[in-house]
Structure 1
């Protein structure tokens, strides 16, 4: 028996596990952290991919909007590199007064002032105006026609009115957009609710009872209708520059990519594949996974990404033990309401009639509960967990005991201590 530790909120859970039963321990590949963040950020700004250097794009007196990720993406550590972008803009003649920072909330809740400071860093917070995007406020949006997928395009007016737009963010596998980062700063980041909803509808096949579109999945860009729609809309906006980061599971920066919003991002996606795409020989009977601790397990809504990664590594009807504190609950007020529908087919029918992003997340949770036996360790009320179709337990030891009861004799186990990052890829 070997003691294994898993991140849970801002603490850890641990348990003794039979090492002989473990067929995979999905650890990201070793990578060397960047020793000098400032030097690397300036390097990629001056040597971008598919675009001129930023000093050849922006001139003094132009109004610049920088899009940053919200509090649920605090792991990106925007506060560690944003100041170098702002200082660079100063060096080419752009004053602090000509820069606005827009937090890409998508349809997430507003940020508190404390959270805004945490996202951008104290120095930048005290120098630059920081705004939340509000997808629910029509007066803050501009309509730009429809995408090639017929998605109505509503975008925050600050983006349309700016002379120059810079995207920032972090790249990870994403359960239906292929990868995070890139054009997701625009959609859903600073898009209107109608745009977000139409785009997310592309995760389903057309027609009644047709289920999920399996091309809208992790690790797929081309042929993924949701991602292609996001890219098409972003091309219409034509942001001037992108700076995205890749981090390890300890929050160290491994890579920055900069330049064209798509070409630079695609290079970052390849880095993610190489570090976090883990090849497996066989699927497991039991998966033991952590969402990765705070803020990745801040709510159940964010934990859906870990559930999806787990689906790739386990057999049909296998057991998932998932550790996610969910300190802010489910993450969306309407989330639980979708579970009044008792089957996936009923939920799908309702979603296609009145699509919402929390509704889709609820569907994905329900989908996991149907095709897997999911044991959840969290701070959520027991009744809520049961309503979701999951099994609530109080400790990792209790979860393991139950998992063995629900599994065949001598079950094979896969560990996913960084479940929000690592993607099992069957050979």
Structure 2
């Protein structure tokens, strides 16, 4: 049996003896959206749990639009234009809109990498800045969470009149699912916050694992921190293995996120008929395997 794994930009083919293969696990085939940009616009106008984005934006003087860093294959070229257009038509001028890259403790994304992430027109016309998690002076202190995590969030986000996050919903090895609240914590959090939230008290919990939200302290904690920091609107997407958009959700940080999670659960759940000795997998290819740290996603 010849199997192709997503690996880097080109993929990796593996030859396996048929007699040794128990099962090939793959996401169920989803139906890509015929008009993803139109789906985004409709979600902005009819969101889940909030007024339309245009209504939220009226009367606001500044906006911060948060995007994932290069390690997440978020289709920003589809998501961002309708968001930015809505903000400007609602009275927030382009020069008062900041696109903030939620790097967490990852390296900054610069130059051609930014162009690849958002597309050349947006890269050339809008102010795009990186979060710097190791520079505490760039963060606002918002107290402590109920579990004692010190809350330091990027000051540029905290001080924005309108706070919008984008993202990608998929299983996450310790937070249950990515997207939603994760763009704020850890995406815009300082080292002092992340090192506690990523600490053994949270990660050793049996529910801190992929696909689990209920009684997952990692999920519960960063949801509380994100809500405390404030989030007016999210736009999240679900993609398939070919990076085609299957679903778009928008609106309230928790309601829209959970709507997306329910969609993901339908297409990623599978079982193996028996225990196996060896699992051959990858971290899903570029950009998910950009850094060595991301290789843990293969597990």
If the TM-score is normalised by the length of the shorter chain, which range does it land in? over 0.9
Match of 1:265 among 257, 264, 280: 257
SS at match of 2:41: helix
Mapped pair 1:151 → 2:115: no
Q: Considering only aligned residues, what root-mean-square deviation do their CA atoms show, in Å? A: 1.5
- Counterpart check, 1:179 vs 2:171: no
Secondary structure, counterpart of 1:50 in structure 2: coil
**Using the alignment, how far apart are the partners of 1:160 and 1:38 within structure 2?**
29
User: Counterparts of 2:201 and 2:266 in 1: how far apart (Å)?
Assistant: 26
SS of equivalent residue, structure 1 residue 288: coil
Q: How does 1:228-239 map to 2 (within 5 A)?
A: 228-239=220-231
User: How far apart, CA to CA, are the structure 1 residues paired with 2:163 and 2:125?
Assistant: 18
Deviations 1:336-388 (A, max 9, x none): xxxxxxxxxxxxxxxxxxxxxxxxxxxxxxxxxxxxxxxxxxxxxxxxxxxxx
Deviation track 1:22-68 (CA, whole Å, cap 9, x = no partner) reads 22111111111011122100011111111111122111452000000
Q: Provide Cα deviations, 1:161-181, integer angstroms capped at 9, x if missing partner.
A: 110100101011111111111
2:74 pairs with one of 70, 73, 76: 76
Match of 2:212 in 1: 220
Which residue of 2 is the match for residue 288 of structure 1? 280
Q: 2:292 — aligned with what? A: 300
1:84-134 CA distances to partner (integer Å, 9 max, x unpaired)? Answer: 211122222222112101000000011222222222221111221001001
TM-score, length basis structure 2? 0.95
For 1:242, the equivalent position in structure 2 comes to: 234
For residues 237 and 204 of structure 1, do their structure 2 counterparts lie closer, same or farther at Cα, with a shift above 3 Å needed? Answer: closer
User: Which whole-Å CA distance do the structure 1 matches of 2:130 and 2:22 have between them?
Assistant: 45
Q: CA–CA distance in 2 between the matches of 1:46 and 1:101? A: 21
1:48 and 2:40 matched: no
Higher Rg of the two aligned structures: 1
Tell me the CA shift for residue 306 of structure 1.
1.3
In structure 2, distance between residues paired with 1:215 and 1:57: 36
RCO higher in structure (CA 8 A, sep ≥6): 2
Superposed, 1:25-44 pairs within 5 Å as 25-44=24-43
Cα pair 1:176 1:203 within 8 Å, conserved = no
CA distance in 1: counterparts of 2:241 and 2:74, whole angstroms: 11
Other structure's SS at 1:68 match = strand
Deviations 1:274-293 (A, max 9, x none): 11121332221221112222
3-state secondary structure, aligned to 1:88: helix
Q: Distance in 1 between matches of 2:279 and 2:180?
A: 30
In the TM superposition, 1:96-107 aligns within 5 A as 96-107=94-105
